[in-house]
Amino acid sequence: MSTHSISTAEPIDARTDAALLSPLQQMTRMGPTCLWNDSAAEADLIYSLAQGAVGATCNPVIVLEVLKRELSIWQPRIAALARERPAATETEIAWRLAEEISATRAAMLGEVFEQHGGRNGRLSIQTDPRLYRDARALVEQALHFSQLAPNMIVKLPATRAGIEAMEEVTARGVSINATVSFSLPQALAVAEAVECGLRRREQQGDDVKTMGPVCTIMVGRLDDWLKVVADKKDITIEPGDLEWAGVAVFKKAYRIYRERGYRVRLLSAAFRNHMHWSELIGGDVVISPPCKWQRRFNASDVPVVPRIDQPVAPAIVEELLKKFPDFGRAYREDGLSIDELDTFPPTRRTLRQFMDACHQLDVQVRNVITADPEAELA
């Protein structure tokens, strides 16, 4: 179990030849846009840190991936946990494993965390997606996760209960990362909840300067859903227009965040094309691609220039609004009420995937602690 600590490179100065830098290194050194790694696999994080990454993330899907890729490391640990906790369920052991994976990868970001005073250098650990309707349970788990390492940031879903939990844990000093989030109404509800939590904390005389809350917009998952709708309802649209849906929501949210002075940063996730990176360069935002997308970006010839303030073509936005009611729900400030957050189709689809990953983690643990005796005879 690695506890590497790797610092990021120094900013560009007159002695640095930009031509020698990868596109992601150029981005991280040219302005406020930060790179996080959407993986907790050790090899991926090492690569990403070399590109200038200042954060990483973990969720049930990622834990499952790490377990499969690093089975020689974690399989013995599962067996040890089963011996140490003979009455523990598969689920309890699986979550203990997720905590340990997250803590070891948080250690790899420790030096970055110190350099950035808490705003970056964090490992994002996700609460149990099956708790998305229970604010009290989310608060309890978030407080527990925040104690696993000094540089933890805790993911909470942008559901009705999740929004409530975000304010409470922020007031208690926990930096949050809103996840299962695809829309402007969710991003605004998250920002308001975090602001309320920060103000409560300030009124108590507690520090907020070392906190680093972010709000994820899963740009590609909004695009995914609209493509499903187009296919099911035989909707014809200009080629490529659906690739702009998540970008349009993100850019509008970023503009409103700046106008209102929210202290939570936006984070772009769920990458499907280079625009989920390239169109957001220049903003005081976080770009969080998986390692395979980082390699693609670095192998591309896409110019690394600020584009965050360049609006999506109005004709594209109008076409999306005209043909896809769910885009309007994601794009308009009043598109979703707080009571509709849990039933928005991208929310339900993503929660189902995360919950399924939890089930698959249980299966992986079961395969270790109740190994097939016939296989041992082979």
Task: Tell me the per-residue pLDDT of 140-176, one tens digit each, with 9 for 90 and over.
Answer: 999 999 999 999 999 999 999 999 999 999 999 999 9
Nearest residue to 253 (alpha-carbon basis) of 280, 229, 272 = 280
List 35's β-bridge partners, or say none: 287
Cβ-proximal residues to 227 (8 Å cutoff; 6+ apart), any chain? 242
Please give the C-alpha separations between residue 269 and each of 117, 250, 272, 290, in angstroms, as whole numbers: 24, 11, 9, 9
Q: Under a CB-based contact definition with an 8 Å cutoff, are residues 48 and 57 in contact?
A: no
List 43's β-bridge partners, or say none: none
Angle of helix 245-260 versus helix 314-323 axis, rounded to 10: 110
Torsion of CA 267, 273, 278, 281, to 10 degrees: 0
- Fill in the amino acid letter for 84: E
Structure tokens at 244: 């702009």
Sheet of 55-57, strand order: 34-35, 286-287, 265-269, 214-218, 176-179, 152-157, 122-126, 55-57
First to last CA, the chain: 30
Q: Under a CB-based contact definition with an 8 Å cutoff, are residues 347 and 340 in contact?
A: no
pTM of the complete model: 0.93
Strands 122-126 and 55-57: parallel
Nearest residue to 70 (alpha-carbon basis) of 371, 353, 366, 364 = 364
pLDDT tens string, the chain, 378 residues long: the values are 444 433 344 444 444 566 789 999 999 999 999 999 999 999 999 999 999 999 999 988 898 899 889 989 999 999 999 999 999 999 999 999 999 999 999 999 999 999 999 999 999 999 999 999 999 999 999 999 999 999 999 999 999 999 999 999 999 999 999 999 999 999 999 999 999 999 999 999 999 999 999 999 999 999 999 999 999 999 999 999 999 999 999 999 999 999 999 999 999 999 999 999 999 999 999 999 999 999 999 999 999 999 999 999 999 999 999 999 999 999 999 999 999 999 999 999 999 999 999 999 999 999 999 976 666 666
